[in-house]
Amino acid sequence: MPLPSNPLRKLGFLTIGLFDGENPGQGHESTLEIIELGERLGFDSAWVRHRHLQYGISSPVAVLAAASQRTSRIELGTAVIPLGWENPLRLAEDLATVDILSRGRLNPGLSVGPPMHYDRVKNALYPDTADAEDFSYDRMERLLDLVRGKPATDFSGVEGFEVFSDRVQPHSPGLGKRMWYGGASLRSARWAGEHGMNFLTSSVVKAEESEDFAEIQLSHIRAFRARHPDGDRARVSQGLVVIPTDSATEEQRAKYEEYARKRTPRTATPQGPARMMFAPDLVGTCDQIAEQLYAHAAFREIDEVAFALPFTFDHADYVQILTDIATKLGPRLGWQAAV
């Protein structure tokens, strides 16, 4: 097995937090328990997906506020909040509040663009302004400015017994440096770098200059760092679906292999008008997965990962997968558990 040129510095995981619509509390509790487990296992970060009008986490900021009170060390991230559903000023307040509650552990990941199925939800989401809403990068710039402490109004001071600030309160000074952009295109990678964000690159990219997933992802990482003020030191986190089987039961192994088999066809060629490319799920022993990662051109370029947990598995499956990642795969990648 080849050795990495640089050891993996930060190991994280990503969960969707599915729940039963008739009993949503159980699924949310499972998500919080998984985050607590991640901290005990020494993971550096835990990330939650964002789903609107589905049976997944619709309010990751609220879930991470709860997680911040049940953990003390692990970083907490969103991957990603689609900003088209949000008011940047209100979101800036929520993000800063959770960052304060977590003592500086929040890592907000975001993206821009129209909300999914916008024509079907716009009357509920923006009944009076649907056709005037701006879903471009300008919306992200507004959020970044507000999080980083730029004025939101020209008024501040005392009015009666109330004191007003001209910037978002609470203000969390370090949060502006922990803002991440979830990008799947060269344009997004370049924009994130130019605006001093960190970059999340996941198991989905846009086939623009190649149809080789690793080559595409590598080009995004290099384009981001070429535009970022920190250059090669700019933070990039890679997200792939990784399913180790070292301690899995025979039943679990069969389930994992069937899951990957059903998803494999979409990895062969670009999908849909947007020409999206999907990375193959990595299923096997930790030795096998480590070898595949070392052969991955983009993985060799980064020192942070947030491995994605599969969508539809059971709580016990996630416990087994995370335990194998932390105790077996991570060390094979040169990573050391946080204490």
Q: What is the pLDDT of residues 213-263, one digit of tens each?
A: 999 999 999 999 999 999 999 999 999 999 999 999 999 999 999 999 999
DSSP 174: T
DSSP string, 44-58: SEEEE---SSSSS-S
- Integer Cα distance of 89 and 221 in angstroms: 29
DSSP 113: S
Token pair 């416990």: residue: 319
pLDDT digits (tens, 9 = 90+) for 285-333: 999 999 999 999 999 999 999 999 998 999 999 999 999 999 999 999 9
Contact 181, 197 (CB under 8 A): yes
Contact 68, 105 (CB under 8 A): yes
pLDDT digits (tens, 9 = 90+) for 211-221: 999 999 999 99
DSSP 195: T
Of residues 205, 222, 331, 330, the one with CA closest to residue 274 = 205
At residue 4, the pLDDT reads: 58
Q: Between residues 209 and 5, which one has the greater pLDDT?
A: 209
Rounded mean pLDDT, 78-88: 98
At residue 1, the pLDDT reads: 42
Domains, in order of start, for the chain: 10-332 (3.20.20.30)
Helix (H) or strand (E) holding 88: helix 88-101
Q: Is the pTM of this model over 0.85?
A: yes
